[in-house]
Amino acid sequence: MSDTSILTRTEAAERHRLLDVRTVHLDLDLTRGREVFGSTTVIRFGCTTPGAATSVDVKPAALHRVVLNGRELDVTTLRNGRLPLTDLAADNELTVEADMAYSHTGEGMHRFTDPADGEDYVYTQSFLDDGPRVFASFDQPDLKARYTVSVTAPQQWTVVGNSLGRQTSPGRWEFDTTPAISSYLLAVVAGPLHSVRAEHDGIPLGLHCRRSLAAHLDADAAELLEITRQGFDHYHRVFRHRYPFDSYDQCFVPEFNAGAMENPGCVTLRDEYVFRSAVTDTRREERAMVVIHEMAHMWFGDLVTMKWWDDLWLNESFAEYMAYSVTAASTRFTGAWTGFAADRKPWGYDADQRPSTHPVAPGTVEDTAQALQNFDGISYAKGAAVLRQLVAWLGEETFLTGVNDYFDAHAFGNATLDDLLRALAAASGRDVHAWADRWLRTSGVDTLRVADGRIEHTSADGALRPHQLTAGHYRRTADGALELADRVPLDLPGDLPGDGAVPLDPPADGTELTLLNDTDLSYVKIRLDPASWRTARSSLGAVPEELARAVLWGAARDQVRDGELAPGEYLRLVADHLPGETSVHLMDAVLSFARDFVADCALPPAERPAALAELARVCRTLLRRTENEPDRTGLRLVAVRGVIATAADEADAAELRDWLAAGTVPGGPELDPDLRWQLLARLCVLGAAGEPEIAAELAADPSDTSEQGAARCRAALPDPAAKEAAWQALFHGELSNYLAAATAKGLWQPEQAELLDELTVRYFEELAPAAARRGPALARVLTTAAFPAFAATERTVRAAEACLTDPDLTVATRRGLVDQLDTLRRAARARALTGQ
């Protein structure tokens, strides 16, 4: 995609000044074969300056015909996805007829053939600027229109759209006209879908998935519908506006790039959320949160939409904050905030300490390519954490009053950050703008450190943000455990005259551990005083609250990343305190970090085997602890996955082969597709399985899970030919987004460093052209899963730096590389701490 197809903020503002888009009639023909589909768009719009010129966005495979006000336009004037329109009238009708190409990267209209039964499915992802790959439009969030969609599809297909629809004749579907919505929210999902229908509070509900997943969706439909009902009830309780659309369909679709997308009335979710295999309860919690998150967008984002992408945070931070708070308050997943602390906030902290960080609410986002890069840990995790601070400061009722006033003022229209701040300021009588300047317009993480009875408040940018938080004081009980002696609220004002230190009231006698932010209310890094850190090292596992333990593990994690704590020290904490851990959130998050960053990247290669052995011991202890118990939370599942991931020698491989042959782990669980493929992948890495086993597994369960598992296994084999085949597929082939990610996950293995040495050099030579050729979604795969993160050496750092000097890198590639380079440098620094 050429850069000139990218819409700039200035162009959007000019087009908004000129146009008033009223209605769009879209007619799609999904019966034109597997390569293209037909798309006819009729747009009716006003123009404030008759005689003026503008352009319409359309990215077709073949543009057949364009008619403006009865005048046939020259289709060869199409350049880079823009077609010029001249001599506009006060009232205009534009018709665009085209063939559009199906995609296999999750962008535009994605087409997927299910290996399980050969059935085809298609779905749109119009976000962020991929709508013109499906239909012609004035593609910017502040030119909303009422859409009337009709679709011709194969007769046995079901078609789902933003509004209620019906089959009017065999294969012909008509949908009701929507309220005014932005073009990036237009959605169509079609195929021989399996559907579950229900109703709640007058709203028709639908759950849809591929036919081959029918039994799995049916098994979980009650849970999904319950979460959906709980979400609607909660939002209807706290928002004045009722749900603004006529129905609510949730479509689980294959090879989806994001978690889900908030298309009004037609949410699309990655269909890995229809579980084919056993999952931890935290994974169910994550799915519930995604459901609640997308539902929040029906108000925040869909009813009231940001004017331009610089207010993206209005969408994502709010939806993310609501997801956690509503899930914790109104569903069975009452521990959702622990998940936020353990799994989600680190994404924000990491992003906020990279060179690519940006304010939650950036002053300006110049174009759509830049906007896409802001879908990161800042907009989601930090934004949600910051809103939590705002709610703590204003009080929830006042906050909701402001938000409701904002909905009232801008319903079915667009708004800016300033509109929201004014509504919150009016509702609260507080200086919300000053708060926003400090929290939303700056970037970077504050650090709070307890020293000499005071709290030292520092930050990288020198600006200090205000914090509402608590401090917990813990003392030793008679039986050697720790108990909370006192919890005190703290209100740190932020920018202070003097040295930024605040006195901390002396704790009661016998306090052994003082923990700032122990309830994880604020967004901040914490450092303990030396005595408290000694207690944490000896007794982290004895801290009674799960959330406080999450804060301590978080502090240990970022000390490793900051080069303040040696990786070996972190592993000692894991060895001492994880075997007794009961929280699946913590078990999962800590083991993942210990394995993926500490063992694979931050330790010198010579020390990795001992680290893996230590992690294996932890997992085996957990396995013994969970024997003969029903695994309600999934703790045993985490242990099993951990044992597989840390298998290293002949004896380990023999054990895994026994499990595979028996179809079960002794004492359970039975091996389901996810576990079988994880296990086989590990055996492939170790050279203890190969093509015959992969082919047998694939034949036993023909499915997309298996195709991805096989791609990963083949790429993981310790064999130069296998590596080269994976390489060619990734960098020079046409793999779909999911098969590319699976191949990338298999490719790099620290055990195979010697075999991979040449490829770590080639990576930096072949990345840029491959990423440019395949577009932003694949660029993300190529700079994340396909990045040689394990090779945390000076040579790799220098190669990445050199690669970044290429002026022709796409925006997505550059951003991905900058972020990986930051992690690489941190890993290299941590290695240096170990002294090798």
Catalytic positions, written as ranges: 294
Residue 323, interface with Zn ion (CB under 5 A)? no
In whole angstroms, give the CA distance from residue 526 to residue 645. 31
User: By C-beta, is 262 or 367 nearer to Zn ion?
Assistant: 262
User: By C-beta, is 316 or 520 nearer to Zn ion?
Assistant: 316
User: By C-beta, is 319 or 436 nearer to Zn ion?
Assistant: 319
**Residues 137-176: x/- map of binding to Zn ion (CB under 5 A)?**
----------------------------------------
Alpha-carbon distances of 149 from 136, 160, 163, 189, 302, rounded to whole Å: 13, 10, 9, 12, 18
The minimum distance between CB 212 and Zn ion, in angstroms, equals 28
- Residue 489: exposed, middle, or buried by beta-carbon count in 10 A (0-12, 13-18, 19+)? exposed
Per DSSP, the three-state class of 538 is: helix
**Residues 506-535: x/- map of binding to Zn ion (CB under 5 A)?**
------------------------------
User: By C-beta, is 316 or 352 nearer to Zn ion?
Assistant: 316
User: By C-beta, is 28 or 295 nearer to Zn ion?
Assistant: 295
3-state secondary structure 86-139: CCCCCEEEEEEEEEEECECCCCEEEEEECCCCCCEEEEEECCCCCHHHCCCECC
Strand intervals (E) in 274-354: 304-306
In whole angstroms, give the CA distance from residue 120 to residue 657. 35
Find out whether 479 and 512 touch, Cβ atoms under 8 Å: no
Which contiguous run of DSSP H or E holds residue 21? strand 19-29
User: By C-beta, is 246 or 302 nearer to Zn ion?
Assistant: 302
The minimum distance between CB 264 and Zn ion, in angstroms, equals 13
The minimum distance between CB 122 and Zn ion, in angstroms, equals 23
Q: Which residue has the tokens 């039986």?
A: 479
Distance from chain centroid for Cα 752: 30
Distance from chain centroid for Cα 282: 16
Per DSSP, the three-state class of 333 is: coil
Per DSSP, the three-state class of 198 is: strand
User: By C-beta, is 114 or 376 nearer to Zn ion?
Assistant: 376
User: By C-beta, is 316 or 367 nearer to Zn ion?
Assistant: 316
The minimum distance between CB 205 and Zn ion, in angstroms, equals 20
| Alpha helices, DSSP H, located in 411-450 | 417-428, 432-439
Q: Which residue has the tokens 């992408």?
A: 309
The minimum distance between CB 298 and Zn ion, in angstroms, equals 11
Considering only residues 301 to 320 of the shown chain, the ones binding Zn ion according to CB under 5 A are: 316, 319
The minimum distance between CB 165 and Zn ion, in angstroms, equals 24
Considering only residues 735 to 754 of the shown chain, the ones binding Zn ion according to CB under 5 A are: none
Considering only residues 770 to 809 of the shown chain, the ones binding Zn ion according to CB under 5 A are: none
The minimum distance between CB 300 and Zn ion, in angstroms, equals 9
Alpha-carbon distances of 153 from 63, 162, 166, 341, 487, rounded to whole Å: 21, 17, 12, 45, 62
Considering only residues 41 to 70 of the shown chain, the ones binding Zn ion according to CB under 5 A are: none
The minimum distance between CB 261 and Zn ion, in angstroms, equals 8
Sequence-distant (≥ 6) Cβ neighbours of residue 237 within 8 angstroms = none
The minimum distance between CB 184 and Zn ion, in angstroms, equals 12
Sequence-distant (≥ 6) Cβ neighbours of residue 231 within 8 angstroms = 291, 292, 295, 326, 330
Considering only residues 640 to 679 of the shown chain, the ones binding Zn ion according to CB under 5 A are: none
In whole angstroms, give the CA distance from residue 616 to residue 619. 5
Q: Tell me the residue type at 687.
A: G
Instruction: Record the tokens describing residue 720, joined without a space.
Output: 């130069």
In whole angstroms, give the CA distance from residue 208 to residue 93. 35
Considering only residues 610 to 639 of the shown chain, the ones binding Zn ion according to CB under 5 A are: none
| Alpha helices, DSSP H, located in 633-719 | 635-645, 650-662, 673-685, 691-700, 704-716
User: By C-beta, is 267 or 485 nearer to Zn ion?
Assistant: 267
Per DSSP, the three-state class of 306 is: strand
Q: Crossing angle of helices 635-645/584-593, nearest 10°?
A: 10
User: By C-beta, is 143 or 269 nearer to Zn ion?
Assistant: 269
Find out whether 406 and 420 touch, Cβ atoms under 8 Å: yes
Per DSSP, the three-state class of 470 is: strand
Per DSSP, the three-state class of 687 is: coil
Instruction: Record the tokens describing residue 68, joined without a space.
Output: 């403006």
User: By C-beta, is 319 or 548 nearer to Zn ion?
Assistant: 319
In whole angstroms, give the CA distance from residue 280 to residue 327. 17
Residue nearest to Zn ion (CB): 319
Q: Tell me the residue type at 760.
A: T
Considering only residues 187 to 246 of the shown chain, the ones binding Zn ion according to CB under 5 A are: none
The minimum distance between CB 323 and Zn ion, in angstroms, equals 8
In whole angstroms, give the CA distance from residue 751 to residue 764. 21
User: By C-beta, is 319 or 683 nearer to Zn ion?
Assistant: 319
Per DSSP, the three-state class of 564 is: coil
The minimum distance between CB 288 and Zn ion, in angstroms, equals 15
User: By C-beta, is 371 or 560 nearer to Zn ion?
Assistant: 371
Q: Which residue has the tokens 């849970």?
A: 223
For residue 62, list its beta bridge partners: 99
- Residue 550: exposed, middle, or buried by beta-carbon count in 10 A (0-12, 13-18, 19+)? buried
The minimum distance between CB 293 and Zn ion, in angstroms, equals 6
Count residues near Zn ion (CB under 5 A): 2
The minimum distance between CB 78 and Zn ion, in angstroms, equals 32
- Residue 219: exposed, middle, or buried by beta-carbon count in 10 A (0-12, 13-18, 19+)? exposed
In the chain, how many H helices and how many E strands? 27, 29
Q: Tell me the residue type at 830.
A: A
Residue ranges in contact with Zn ion by CB under 5 A: 316, 319
